[in-house]
Every structure is written in structure tokens, then in C-alpha cells.
Amino acid sequence: MVVEAHAGEPIDERVARLHALLKVASKSDIQTYDERLNMSWIYHDSALEGVVHSPEELHAAVSDRVASDSALIPAYDEIRHHMNALRLVRELGQKKKLSISLEVVKEIAVELAPDDVESKGQPKYRKDMPVHRLYFHDITTPDKISYKMRNFIQWIAAPETKRSMHPLRLGAKAHAQLLHIYPFAKHSGKVARLVMNLVLLSEGYPPVVIHATERQRYYEALKAGDEAVSVLVNEAMSASVESSIRWLESKNPAA
């Protein structure tokens, strides 16, 4: 699969350009780049779930500021948990021989909802069919979640799976499959997108941030199937890479 990004160039060439720019960027620019990416990642990923954080809330939460209003504490906690999950995925993505296991998926879920765990720190699988939910594609019944999760892990860990698909398609498909299983009562969407980005980071790609403006299209893609999700993810990757390249080039025109 060839994914085009800019003036007909394949996405892999544009990602290589992004890495080259990051390699020569100053420490302060890299720090700013990472901070901007994290804020964008949390903002848009939360907005896909119907939760819109203000820039002030985001910056206050990640800087560990004490909430000025007790009503803000839940929002601050959710942002901080989300940031911890991003850090975990970035760390895991740097491992040379990463294997996405059931334990890894559960570890991501725990970072997002550390207070919602069973004994031994294990997250709870969903035990009912949610009536009021954001996603309206078909999801697995609770009695089949454990079985479907084992099958998912077998599929994503199989050497043939990795050999047969471009990382972007693999990440998109893994994300779509996890959302059709919808394993957890809380944050299944965030978990699915973090697993997608773990696939990408482990293969040297930047994370995909699906913008809040694509929210309705995102839901429709999940109902339409893997191919529609893959197209959306490819476009989001291209947009993210081009935005990053433009910003880094503006900071270092000679690069």
C-alpha cells in the first residue's frame, strides 16, 4: 500500500523528512514540538469522545496545578491519566522488539482509569451492553469479550500480520477491531487509538491524531468497516506530518 502525503510523495518519504528535521532541531524546539503534539493529542482524542477541554484546563492539568475549583478536579484527573497513557505508549513504542500482548492493552487501560481496576490491578471488562454510548457500530456482547480479545492478540502478534500490512493499515485495522470488541466500560475508544499509535510508534511513525472536526466522519467510518477507517487514518497521518514539517521548517529554514 502506497500512501501519498505531499505533492505525490509517499508518506514514508514525508515521515523521513520529519525525522530529519527533528534530528537537527534545537532542544527547545523539540520540547515545544512534543508539548504541542501532546496537547493536540489529548484535546482531539477527548473531543472524539464528546469531552472538550479548554486550553487552560489542559495546561493547568499537565503542569500539576491545583484546581482552583473543586468541580474541575475530575477533568484534571482525566487529563493527567490520559497524559500518563501517552507517556506509556511512547515508552513502549521505543522498544526494539515490542509485542502487543493482552497485558500491554490492559496496562494502557489502567493508565487511563487507574481507579477502575479489579484485584491485582487488572482493568474490568465490560459487563453490559451500554445503552447510551457515543459509538453506534456493532459491539461484542460481554460474554464474548474475553474470547475476542484473545483472538485479537493472536492476530496482531502473528508474524504474518505484520509482514502482510503497511503499519498504517495495521494500526487502523487494530484500532477498528478493538472498537468492535469495545472491551472496557470506560475509555475503549482511547485504548483503541492508543494501541493504533503504539503500532505506528513501534515502526518509526509519529502518532496519528484524528481531529475533532472529523468526529462524525470517524463514527461513520467505524460503521462502514476497516477500509473506511484506514482511509481516515491515512489522511490524518498525512495532515499531521505536513503540519509538523511546516512548523519545524519555520523554526529552521536552512534545514
Q: What is the pLDDT of residues 41-87, one digit of tens each?
A: 999 999 999 999 999 899 889 887 776 777 778 889 999 999 999 99
Beta bridge partners of 179: none
Residue with cell 467505524: 222
Cβ–Cβ under 8 Å, residues 106 and 122:
yes
pTM beyond 0.85: the answer is yes
Q: What's the length of the chain?
A: 255
Cα separation, 23 vs 94, whole angstroms: 16
Q: What is the pLDDT of residues 153-202, one digit of tens each?
A: 999 999 999 899 999 999 999 999 999 999 998 899 999 999 999 999 99
Could you tell me if residue 127 is inside a domain?
A: yes
| Structural domain total, the chain | 1
Could you tell me if residue 28 is inside a domain?
A: yes
Integer angstrom CA distances of residue 161 from 124, 141, 156, 201, 224: 28, 26, 6, 17, 22
Cβ–Cβ under 8 Å, residues 174 and 195:
yes
Cα separation, 189 vs 217, whole angstroms: 15
Could you tell me if residue 1 is inside a domain?
A: no
Q: What's the start-to-end Cα distance of the chain, in Å?
A: 29
**DSSP 3-state assignment of 32?**
helix
**Which CATH number does the domain housing residue 232 bear?**
1.10.3290.10
| Domain encompassing residue 242 | 7-251
Cα separation, 114 vs 128, whole angstroms: 20
Could you tell me if residue 141 is inside a domain?
A: yes
Q: Residue 124: pLDDT above 80? A: yes
Could you tell me if residue 2 is inside a domain?
A: no
Report, as an integer, the average pLDDT of 15-28.
Answer: 96
pLDDT at 132: 60
Q: What is the pLDDT of residues 236-248, one digit of tens each?
A: 999 999 999 999 9
